[in-house]
Amino acid sequence: MAKYIAVDLGASNGRVIVGDLSGFEVMNRFVTRNEMLLRESHWDITFIFAEIKKGIKEAFHRYGGEIVSIGVDSWGVDYGLLDEHGSLITLPYHYRDSRTDGMVETVCAKLGQQALFERTGLAFQPFNTLYQLAAMQKYRPSTLAVARQYLSIPDLINYWLTGVMVNEISHASTTQLFNPKTKDWDWETIDGMHFSRGMFGTLVESGTIVGRLHPQVAQELHADPDVVVVAGGTHDTASAVAAVPAKAGEDFLYISSGTWSLLGVESEQPILTPAALESGFTNEVAVNGNIRFLKNIMGMWIQQECVRHWESKGEHIDWKDLDEQTIACSSYSGYIDPDDQRFLKPNSPQSLMVDRVAQNCRDLGLPVPTSHGEYMVAIYRGLAKAYAKAIDHLGTITGKTYSSLHIIGGGCKNEILDQWAADETGLTVYAGPVEATALGNMLVQGVATKGIGSLQRGRDLIIGHQKVKQFDPA
């Protein structure tokens, strides 16, 4: 069977994986490093690219002629800007950078919130590309003036691998500069913001072959020069949803669980109703051209920042022990509201995540956690309640009812949260596959290179080969 290289970049770590839908190996695992430079947070994209190349080189060393293609996916909204020579102008900003504070209000005052939602279908999150570029327009106008090409993070990696610039549609749909009805850039928003039209290049569908490896890159990596790079579901959630182990005809409900919890359904058309806007749902493009109608719920990020703080104080956190402490504290009645924007920012000397969790419990009139286990209970129970609330809103908006929930991605390994999600929602939860994003990445590559007959055929292969665990409501 043909093998595919999936470069899967998450907001905390990246992996270069080689294999197929029946199994795979990690060639390189690395931190997706970001740095604070004079109070600005940037991705160390040259380090990330070097680690990607290291993994690809190892894959070709081990599997050589079996590899037919490479695909890259990453978190949404972030980007690189290139000058007229195709050179990167500045390190890409991290989506949690504080320069976008207040930009949602500024842009909505200029363009109108309702009109903007009706055109773009995106929820109003401060990290959307629209607000990042608006911040650059305000604070770094001379830098923006030099820009000749916008490329998302995976589009940028694809360009460095092939020398070809394209904008893949699933990632473009996270920018709030894209129209899900026309499947084109939203020129009215771009013109209204006085961004240069020329910066936004050719859009291609998921599964488009970008090109072969650039000869110099192929030589450096000891790679077969005939291997192609596929612009698959370059947004990691698009790739993850492609791998949901759903049967043909199933109207499935999913959560892509990781740093974020992305909860939603597939829809043939964007849903642009006032109820969708009010409930915070968003319309992004799926790998099959449908719409991923979903809500961004703060996920394991809150847990991760608490653990990072405890470890920074010299504590050793064993995850198995932490789970046991969580279960032992399950009678604790507190919980958080993960939709509270206070949880977006990382730890800082002025504001620690543990303090924000405690304060959120106080604000809700609930007991404040006093131990590691109680903090985890507050986070997991809060997430489970947020899932139930979002699913209720989803049913109201779509007019549909759901009997089960697929939780995919790294967060599905948290069996406490899987069970509590089943309990709060009243739905049967199917947890897995864990590596949904990489599997979806490979699935789209397989369809593009004719090794897999269709998206559903790929899902059937995943059902047959990947582990999924069932959790029934208590």
> Angle of helix 129-139 relative to helix 103-111, nearest 10 degrees?
100
Dihedrals phi, psi of 79, to nearest 5 degrees: -160, 170
Written as one string, the DSSP assignment of 123-178 is: ---TTSHHHHHHHHHHH-HHHHHH--EEEEHHHHHHHHHHS---EEHHHHTTTTSE
For the annotated catalytic residues, the residue numbers are: 236
Which uninterrupted H or E stretch holds 203? strand 203-204
What whole-number distance in Å separates Cα of residue 50 and Cα of residue 157? 11
CB atoms near residue 454 (< 10 Å): 13
Dig out the tokens for 1 from the structure. 């069977």
Segments in 313-352 forming alpha helices (H): 319-328
CB atoms near residue 30 (< 10 Å): 17
Name residue 161's amino acid: L
Asked whether the beta carbons of 430 and 390 are under 8 A apart, the reply is no
- Residue position matching structure tokens 């490329």: 151
